[in-house]
Structures are given as structure tokens and as C-alpha cells.
Amino acid sequence: MKKQAVFILSLVAMLFAACQNEPAPTAKATTPEPAQITNEAVSGLYAINTENSVIEWVGTKPTGSQHNGTIKLQSGELNLFQGNINGGKMVLDMGSIAVTDLAGDKKADLESHLKDGDFFDVGKFSTGSFEFGSTQPLANDPSGAKHVATGSLTLKGIAKPIRIPFNFSFEGGKITVETPEFSINRLEWDIKYKSGFIGTVKEKMIDDFVKLKIKLVAEAPVQ
């Protein structure tokens, strides 16, 4: 019995010594996660890409007929502050007014008429502009817009305050702004041709309100 007890104690001692001599497990090196840059941290002035930006317009008549078209931008910029648009300007190229629902001579005739003194008098006022005054969150708007910009729209040299609902995103260094359809009253900019305001008969009347949709893409930070 004594020999067995001595043998067992010796075996335990050997196992304990072996465990003591095993190298301690090596801790795995960990690389700290990089700080996540969020849109809220981004600020700067971004130039509008005029090739990828456009204003769409719709003019209607009480009879139900309408014409559609576009206006291009000459230049512009958007100011981003802590992930939100809080300023900027877009310059409209009034000479670029185009009609998209007609072709041939009818298209050319209407485009020429829109550029003459009855409408935008492009020979005298070659550009228009919208300057952002402020932007605010917009809640529960039927259009789905989450923001509204208050600013000044200048056409034919006349500046008037307007509000523009919009949504925007900032991804990959690119700002995209899109508006739902909204309306302006052309009479405020002295565009009175065939308006009911001046007594035009209904069959020849053109609605005073013009529908607009805007898409802006701003990519390059202004140095």
C-alpha cells in the first residue's frame, strides 16, 4: 500500500510539473476599429454638376392641355454644415429653356415664344437664380419631403421669396437634392401672357401657376 501511495504521489507531481512548464497561451493582437465618419461631421461648399442637374416644368391650361419642358443650370453651389444643407445658390440658364412634349417646328416655335417678351424675355434676362436663405426640417408633409428651403427666386430681374420642399442625400462625397412637384405663380415675376388676371377668355387662358421639379447633384468641394 505504501508503494502504491508513493507511486500515485510521484505521478501527480510529474503531471503538475509538466503543466507548470507549458508555455502560457499567446494573446491575439487586436486592431482597433477605425472611427466611423458620419454625415453629421461633414461640412463644406460643393459645386453643382450642371450636366447632371435639371429643372423640369409643366405649364397647363384650364382646358386640360399642358406642355412639359426643362431648364438647365449655368452654375451653382450647395453649402453643407454638419451633414445638413444650410445655404447655396443655383443660377438658371434661361436660354436653355426646352420643350420636351413637342417636336419639329412646333417645338421650335414654342421654345422661341417662351424666350421672347411675352414670357421670360431671355434676350434681356439671360439668367435667373435661386438663393437659399435657410433650410428647416419638414414633418408630415403630404409630398414626402423631409426638408424645406426658404429663399429668393429671381426671374426677369424680379426677386420674390419662395419655399421649396426637398429631400437630399450625401453619399460617396456627392450631394443629391430632389424636390417633389411644387408650384410658383408666374404673375409674381410679371409673366402675364394669357393670364386670367388680365381678362383672357378661358379657351385661350394659360394657368398662372407653373409646376416645377428640381434635381441637383453637387460633387466637387469648392477649394
pLDDT in tens, 146-179: 999 999 999 999 999 999 999 999 988 899 999 9
Q: Give the cell for residue 6.
A: 508513493
CA separation for the pair 98, 101 (Å, rounded) = 9
Q: What is the rounded distance in angstroms from the CA atom of residue 7 to the CA atom of residue 4? A: 5
Please write the tens of the pLDDT for every residue from 175-218.
Answer: 999 999 999 999 999 999 999 888 888 778 999 999 999 999 99
| CA separation for the pair 107, 16 (Å, rounded) | 97
pLDDT at 41: 62
pLDDT at 39: 57
Cα–Cα distance between 48 and 56 in angstroms, integer? 17
**pLDDT at 76 > cutoff 50:** yes
C-alpha cell at 10: 510521484
Q: How confident is the model at residue 25 (pLDDT cuts 50, 70, 90)?
A: very low
Minimum mean pLDDT among 6-20, 136-150, 207-221: which range? 6-20
Give the pLDDT band (50/70/90) at residue 2.
very low
The answer on pLDDT for 6 being more than 70 is no
Pairwise CA distance, residues 30 & 14, whole Å: 36
Q: End-to-end alpha-carbon separation of the chain, Å? A: 92
Determine the Cα–Cα distance for residues 161 and 37; give it in Å rounded to an integer: 36
pLDDT > 70? residue 26: no
**Predicted pLDDT at 83:** 84
Q: What percentage of residues in the chain have a pLDDT greater than 70?
A: 81
CB 90 within 8 A of CB 129: yes
In 3D space, the residue among 153, 129, 24, 131 whose CA is nearest the CA of residue 87 turns out to be 131
Share above pLDDT 90 across residues of the chain, in percent, rounded to a whole number: 69
Tally of residues, the chain: 223
Instruction: Identify the pLDDT of residue 40.
Output: 56
The whole-number pLDDT of residue 200 equals: 87
pLDDT at 153: 98
Amino acid at 67: H
Is 27's pLDDT higher than 50?
no
* pLDDT of 74 above 80: yes
**Domains contained in the chain, CATH given:** 41-221 (2.40.128.110)
Q: Mean pLDDT over all residues of the chain?
A: 85
What's the average model confidence in pLDDT over 117-140?
Answer: 95
Residues 6+ apart with CB under 8 A from 135: 84, 85, 86, 147, 148, 149, 150
